[in-house]
């Protein structure tokens, strides 16, 4: 499984806690060298201690707000200057903030979408030129959530951000294949992390929320469910295995067969039961052929679709 990954350089956003740390540990197991972004100094120190205790090379720690485009560009320069190249990007950092979408303010949309989708965009724009210029095995993993498939009444904006990451990643996979770069969408479910407390860390710039004020006791009760979650290290191991296989979709939790069956059956049932004209069938046949060719590494242009 380790193959040619040993010695490759990976940058993981939000890499000192939760799923990001689990991914970092699994990549370290496989011999990758690491740069990890962080916000909290205590978490950074705890992560550094884990690497020292396990006699691993200390990661390059980069303090980063993933919504800060200039800082993200600086981070990419730091990583390349430190290691000489960068081969893997794991866009993991995110916020888990919930509330009814019909009551949401612009600030709610701007904050959640800015971190969960905008942070991924900033990672791609900052790092993809460097990953393209590197050699050997290379990969991009965008960590979304099962919310990329399963909406909920308290998770509208969060769900929108994860659907956006899903759509971007599934398309990006076709764009990166001609460069020999793999691309995976990872959609974890309940994991033992502190993601539940995101609402308590809301930046002042986004204070004008349409949601009810964050209630610590209510959030702590909600956070209790996370204790039943998967160990982040297990999630990280599954992420690396999927990356090493170049899986387009990495699902880490097995408990969603009924949900996916329902999505499939509802989608099929919603299709009109009528014949489509030959002209439209021809266009869709070209689309399917182009997608297969793209995944095989061919650059697809607009005139390939008509």
Average pLDDT over residues 157-183: 98
Res. 3: pLDDT tops 70: no
Q: Find out whether 281 and 216 touch, Cβ atoms under 8 Å.
A: no
Q: What is the pLDDT of residue 220?
A: 65
Place 40 in a pLDDT band, splitting at 50, 70 and 90. very high
Res. 201: pLDDT tops 90: no
Q: How many Cβ atoms sit within 10 Å of the Cβ of residue 57?
A: 12
Place 222 in a pLDDT band, splitting at 50, 70 and 90. low
Please report how many Cα atoms fall inside a 13 Å half-sphere around the Cα of residue 28, on the Cβ side. Answer: 24
Average pLDDT over residues 265-285: 97
**Residue matched to tokens 């019909």:** 102
| Each residue's pLDDT tens digit, 120-129 | 999 999 999 9
Res. 118: pLDDT tops 50: yes
Q: What is the pLDDT of residue 198?
A: 81
| Each residue's pLDDT tens digit, 236-252 | 999 999 999 999 999 99
Q: b or e along 70-109 (b: 16 or more beta carbons within 10 Å of the residue's beta carbon)? A: ebbeebbebbbeebebbbbbbbbbbbbbbbebeebeebbb
- Selection from 171, 175, 151 nearest residue 162 by Cα: 151
Q: What is the pLDDT of residue 1?
A: 47
Res. 225: pLDDT tops 80: no
Q: What is the mean pLDDT of the chain?
A: 94
Res. 47: pLDDT tops 60: yes
The set of catalytic residues is: 158, 162
Res. 184: pLDDT tops 90: yes
Q: What is the pLDDT of residue 218?
A: 73
Res. 223: pLDDT tops 90: no
Place 69 in a pLDDT band, splitting at 50, 70 and 90. very high
| Each residue's pLDDT tens digit, 5-27 | 999 999 999 999 999 999 999 99
Res. 51: pLDDT tops 80: yes
Average pLDDT over residues 217-228: 72
- Selection from 24, 59, 49, 56 nearest residue 237 by Cα: 24
| Each residue's pLDDT tens digit, 131-156 | 999 999 999 999 999 999 999 998 99
């Amino acid at each position: 499984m380790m193959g040619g990954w040993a010695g490759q350089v990976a940058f993981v956003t939000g890499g000192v806690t939760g799923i990001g740390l689990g991914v970092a540990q699994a990549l370290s197991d496989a011999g990758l060298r690491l740069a990890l972004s962080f916000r909290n100094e205590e978490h950074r120190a705890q992560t550094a201690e884990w690497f020292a205790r396990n006699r691993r090379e200390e990661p390059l720690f980069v303090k980063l707000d993933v919504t800060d485009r200039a800082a993200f560009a600086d981070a990419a320069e730091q990583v390349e200057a430190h290691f000489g190249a960068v081969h893997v990007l794991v866009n993991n950092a995110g916020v888990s903030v919930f509330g009814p979408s019909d009551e949401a303010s612009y600030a709610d949309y701007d904050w959640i979408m800015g971190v969960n989708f905008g942070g991924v965009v900033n990672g791609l724009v900052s790092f993809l030129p460097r990953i393209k210029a590197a050699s050997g095995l290379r990969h991009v993993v965008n960590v979304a959530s099962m919310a990329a498939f399963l909406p909920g009444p308290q998770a509208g904006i969060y769900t929108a951000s994860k659907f956006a990451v899903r759509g971007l990643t599934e398309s990006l996979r076709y764009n990166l294949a001609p460069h020999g770069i793999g691309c995976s969408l990872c959609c974890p479910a309940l994991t033992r992390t502190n993601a539940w407390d995101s609402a308590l860390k809301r930046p002042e710039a986004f204070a004008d929320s349409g949601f009810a004020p964050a209630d610590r006791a209510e959030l702590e009760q909600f956070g209790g469910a996370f204790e039943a979650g998967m160990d982040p290290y297990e999630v990280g191991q599954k992420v690396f295995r999927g990356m090493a296989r170049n899986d387009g979709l990495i699902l880490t939790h097995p408990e969603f067969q009924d949900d996916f069956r329902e999505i499939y059956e509802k989608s099929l049932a919603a299709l009109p039961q009528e014949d489509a004209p030959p002209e439209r069938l021809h266009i869709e046949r070209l689309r399917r052929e182009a997608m297969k060719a793209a995944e095989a590494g061919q650059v697809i242009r607009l005139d390939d679709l008509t």
